[in-house]
Amino acid sequence: MPEKSLLRGLDAGTHAHGPCRGDIGRRVAARREQLGLSREEVAVRAGSAPGYIQYLEEQTATPGIGFLLRLADALETSVMELTGGTADLPPGTGHPPVHPQLVDLGLDECRTLLGTHGVGHVAVTTHDGPAILPVDYLITDGEVAFRVGRDTLPPMTGESQMAFEVDHIDDALCRGWSVLVVGTPHEVTDPDAVRRLDDLAYSTPWSEGQEACWMAVTPARVSGRRIDVPYAHA
């Protein structure tokens, strides 16, 4: 398989294929399964239709506060828990699950989780040793493109490899996932390509006071893992 085909078809300005499941939906489904309730039972408790509970769990939805209050009561929890108000904890303070399942993700799910843009981390080796750099990124032309200060990265050779990672940790549900892209980096120097990336970027350069440049990673390997927590039904 050609390297660039790993992310081919996922481009900034487009949407990844497959359902777009929101965080509220994940929390509702997890709590419902923890209680051993069917969607029909939750709908009766919340004064809603089973079809809407299914929609809420499987799609991105923004229910009103009145319904959220009824839903939280039906699920014997709080609106804060359902909306992730307890998930914004300082990194590392969440309790790990007691019986987690570490699941390897397929390429399609990795592509979906990467999305077309966001914030990730780049792992590099500098003269001072290994370093992890936060970057804003785009997926374009089958590559991961990100903008950094020109003096931030060490000199790249033709054999250099770089790791790019994006993840999400939900301390409220003790769940999370990560996607890793490993490949060969190169600087984007074509003026038209640079202008296109500048137009697609969602922010100004983070490297204040430094000359910024666009780097792109051609993926040789894309992998991902998810931490799931099985709930025993009552």
Whose CA is closest to 77, among 122, 42, 124?
42
Check if the beta carbon of residue 174 is closer than 8 Å to that of residue 226.
no
Tokens found for residue 148: 């950094």
- pLDDT per position as a tens digit, 105-154: 999 989 888 887 888 999 877 777 888 989 999 999 899 999 888 777 76
Mode of pairing for the β-strands spanning 212-228 and 143-149? antiparallel
Query: pLDDT for 156-214, tens place per residue?
Result: 666 778 899 999 876 655 678 899 999 989 999 999 999 999 998 877 777 666 788 89
Enumerate residues 6+ apart whose C-beta is below 8 A from 9. Answer: 142
Token pair for residue 150? Answer: 């020109």
Quick: pLDDT tens for 1-14.
Answer: 444 568 877 777 55
Q: What are the structural domains, with CATH classification, of the chain?
A: 3-16+100-228 (2.30.110.10), 23-82 (1.10.260.40)
